[in-house]
Amino acid sequence: MSTLSDADVRSALAAQTIELPSWAFGNSGTRFKVFSTPGVPRDPYEKIADVAQVNTYTGTAPRVSLHIPWDLVDDFDDLARHARAHGVQIGAINSNVFQDEDFKLGSLTHADPTIRAKAVRHHLDCIDVMRATGSTDLKIWLPDGTNYPGQDDIRSRQDRLAESLAEIYAALEPHMRLLLEYKFFEPYFYTTDIPDWGTSLVHCMALGDQATVVLDTGHHAPGTNIEFIVAQLLRVGRLGAFDFNSRFYADDDLMVGAADPFQLFRIMNEIVISDALRPDSGVNFMLDQCHNIEAKIQGQIRSVMNVQEATAKALLVDRDALAEAQRSGDVLGANAVLMDAYNTDVRPLLAEVREAKGLDGDPIAAFRASGYVEKVSEERVGGTQASWGA
């Protein structure tokens, strides 16, 4: 690719969209304590109202992922209407097979066919939710795994997984996709049935073109070169989505770009190189975060801005100079071109892009000044606050 013009950089930034997770707006915590915060939503309707706030101030967050059963409502058509009225669409529907007694030893991989059938049925119910809400992405993060060598047969579990996934895949409509996430460990510690991108890709390839891999930036061993995985999955047309978040130790679900903004830049650089930033590229840029101690709506706004900053830097890379340095074997020159872009302060550029859309250049300041948090803290009394896992 060649170096982008200033106008192309600005229009790419203006067109970028990021999907928000409904669960980021409820209370969440560690396995030791869930803290509660005034004004936290009590149901999916209030979560969507909060999502709309992030979209109002960033102009970049027009979709929300739901988690079933956490976001179960009586009438999903009505929830989708509520979302549209707030300028938001329903994005990925996330299944959940990690909170049912029956799934202690596995769900889609379970040795017992009746338990497997129950896990498959849950996914068919999720596809019904997709029909009602207009969602096109079914996202599966499979917790299945074992804790002890010998506990179950690794290969048989893969065979059972392939069969279960094929049943789910067969129920998809042509415009729907199956997004298959991987995670190297947790909740189990010896084997995980989808531990890495290779395993996810193998299953996706067996299923068909509507199955693609989800890359959660928190689901890798320390030191993993994530941008390599991004480049490879893009190369074979199977990067369906990101779950963006930051990790310091394991699956920390912190604000993306907080732990390693340079890694986020390197990831977005691969996206730009493959021209995958376009809204119709087939890559869904989602956040998967939990805000335990920080303000939730503001935390999401910060994350959106962090992704935008990494993207702007990637768009600014002098591609002509980089190609020339690479061609001539100028190792340090090539690296310097990349670092020049990374070290650019893109905040003024992004403020101008926002202002050109009629937004405030500083979304955090504008949101804080709006008084929304104070208002919902007064209004949302009574009822039970939504929280991770409920």
Residues within the interface to ligand RM4 (CB under 6 A): 94, 141, 181, 183, 216, 243, 251, 288
Q: How far is the CB of 264 from ligand RM4 (least distance, A)?
A: 17
Q: Which is nearer to ligand RM4, 244 or 342 (CB)?
A: 244
Q: What is the DSSP letter of 5?
A: P
Contact yes or no for 206/167 (Cβ under 8 A): no
Q: Which is nearer to ligand RM4, 182 or 367 (CB)?
A: 182
Q: How far is the CB of 183 from Mn ion (least distance, A)?
A: 7
Q: Tokens in use for 140?
A: 């599966």
Q: How far is the CB of 371 from ligand RM4 (least distance, A)?
A: 31
Q: Which helix (H) or strand (E) holds 64?
A: strand 63-67
Nearest CA to 12 among 73, 48, 60?
A: 60
- Alpha helices (H) along 174-318: 197-207, 226-235, 261-273, 296-316
Q: Which is nearer to Mn ion, 25 or 57 (CB)?
A: 25
Nearest CA to 185 among 114, 128, 247?
A: 247
Q: Which is nearer to ligand RM4, 141 or 367 (CB)?
A: 141
Q: What are phi and psi of 67, to 5 degrees?
A: -125, 125
Among 50, 193, 243, 360, the residue binding Mn ion under the rule CB under 5 A is: 243
Q: Which is nearer to ligand RM4, 243 or 270 (CB)?
A: 243
What separation in angstroms does the CA of 342 have from each of 31, 264, 287, 355, 381?
Answer: 36, 10, 22, 23, 45
User: How many Cα atoms within 13 Å fall on the side-chain side of residue 249?
Assistant: 2
Residue nearest to Mn ion (CB): 243
Q: Which does 50 bind (CB under 5 to 8 A by kind): ligand RM4, Mn ion, none?
A: none
Q: Which does 94 bind (CB under 5 to 8 A by kind): Mn ion, ligand RM4, none?
A: ligand RM4
- 288 part of the interface to Mn ion, by CB under 5 A: yes
Burial readout 79-99 (b: 16 or more C-beta within 10 A, e: otherwise): bbebbeebebbbbbbbbbbee
Residue nearest to ligand RM4 (CB): 141
Q: Which is nearer to ligand RM4, 204 or 350 (CB)?
A: 204
Q: How far is the CB of 73 from ligand RM4 (least distance, A)?
A: 18
Spell out, one character per residue from 213 to 242, where the chain touches Mn ion: x when CB under 5 A holds, - when not: ---x--------------------------
Q: Residues interacting with Mn ion, by CB under 5 A?
A: 216, 243, 288
